[in-house]
Structure 1
């Protein structure tokens, strides 16, 4: 979605909160009233079972003991049990300690039809249990159905209000707990430029719910987008460099060749050491153009059998005036010879760039140690200087095109080093030596299949 499209759908603060809170209020109110209703039913069932228990226990007592079924006895039992006890001795005869109204009498006679089953009518409940072989001789337990105070008219309004307040509070807490993280996420995304990684609170990133998953996925997606954008920008720079290099390579190399030729003539005819320095600076120009061509228009390496020791000794001889000018000494640890399959010109560029970087790393002069080691199937090399070493950021960008911490540097030298070594089937790495200074080490197979230099 473009910025223009995003403006068509402006962010409405609180929209999700409003969509959540009203259904939650209704749901909470319904839950409260169903809970109250269920509690009422449980209470009624409790009183019904209690009434059955009282009637049953008294009936068993009369079955074991013959007692006069008088109004006084009914009164005593009523006082003891807390319910009204009646005696039935015929279809129309009831003995009670209190006057019975018409509804109570009707309910009492109805219970005689279904002994042991509690019946309700007009605010009363009763249960009958027979105490002899005759179904008309029974003991009846009767009581008024307890009224639940919450549903009384005087208490209903406070109950509704308190339930509504509870529902609003619960809905507010639930809604905010869901909306707050999303608001933080939206704010972070809106305040972060599209080319920067998302920086989100750890509370969001560490959540184990769906919001946490969404947050981590957004961070990961943004990082992938940035990586792709950087790759595209790098490809665009390479394309631009390719066009520039193609246009200028011929114009630069011809004057450079003339400079090198005149430097050679100056050295040979007039025995002037300045000629050697002129040659080296001319070759440095050619080397720079070769780096541009290598990075901009990669081509397959051309392998042939070459002596790496001879290549390096010839290169060190060329660079000797430069070493002298910068007060740099070079210590070599070489075998007598070291033949392997390689592209001699590009291998020379590798070591030329490593030595050049070491010279720049020691503006006050110092020592460079170059080591070659031959193994049965490969060779290893190292270049160690006495400079300040690599920064942590430089190590993380080692071999990355156009990255350079040196003022005026193009950031192509170490890119060429890495890509040429990889094109020969080897690998190279950089670190800071325990003795101080930068240390670049690499490994190259003796026999490698030619490959494209830059992927």
Structure 2
């Protein structure tokens, strides 16, 4: 294996490690299409790495793997004009020579071409995208190879260049595009799990909420009957109409909360007021708590904010509190408490349910496990734990059989 090939393989290894650092190890990043600025930063850093680990031959040609980040960033994120400019800019540091002007001509034309075909490319299937990006890289590598071969290069060096350019760039594009597709599929699967679990929660809460809505509607109907059948003076009629309005407003509020929770998941990071969000969640879960004869109490001694996605935050704590409520089949108590330190906010959820043993505590958050018993699917806790890890929350669970369970969630406080 020649020097240039080894040089290219080492550069490709660095690009792969950088990709893992940006998109696979960091769960907060999610889809590269959602976090386009993060994707741009990755491809810019990749171009810098390729420029630093370039291999000059003769005086006018510099060999590197710049085509990999340029092509992937252009096809997946439609960043080819920016990346093309940066490629030319970094090439200038190696000298204003014939190779520099060839780079200007090539990347100016090819940047526009990649920018135009990117929307079409994204409509292809995952496998087709990998094959297309790998194939076009191979064609470009052969074209660059022919350009170099037309110039005087020694036979030994030419063989090394052929192996390096025909094998390494297509291999790199195939590898990184496959990793991108895997990351996208995992993100879509996670989103689908959250939506399915939300639909399951909506279905389970339906009976309790329908009971809660029936009470104000029954009251309103009764007063309407009185207004229709009995002669009333104006003062009493006004009083009855006010009661009817209040009861209908109460029913509308319950329905509105229910519909808000049923909305599709929207991924956006924003500032969340802990007390406000927990109060909203408890208001939504109030019918379910009444249905199971569970007394809910709060101790909000902390006022603070964290960074996160509001919809997913609601989804997470509704799942956890719902499991706690349903674990208390014959009534019980649920305490929601907040405590703050200098750097973090702790949310504590304590129930008086059946409790968990050590093995069950260790398995919380795994697929096909549920705190409600062997019949559960465990999707709710798995989704909740996934959301909490994405928000970089630390989770502590304390439980004892027959005495209930306490969950503690440590969030980094948002200092503003």
What is the TM-score of this pair, normalised by structure 2? 0.39
Query: RCO higher in 1 or 2 (8 Å CA, sep ≥ 6)?
Result: 2
Q: Which structure has the bigger radius of gyration?
A: 1
After TM superposition, the score normalised by the length of structure 1 is 0.36
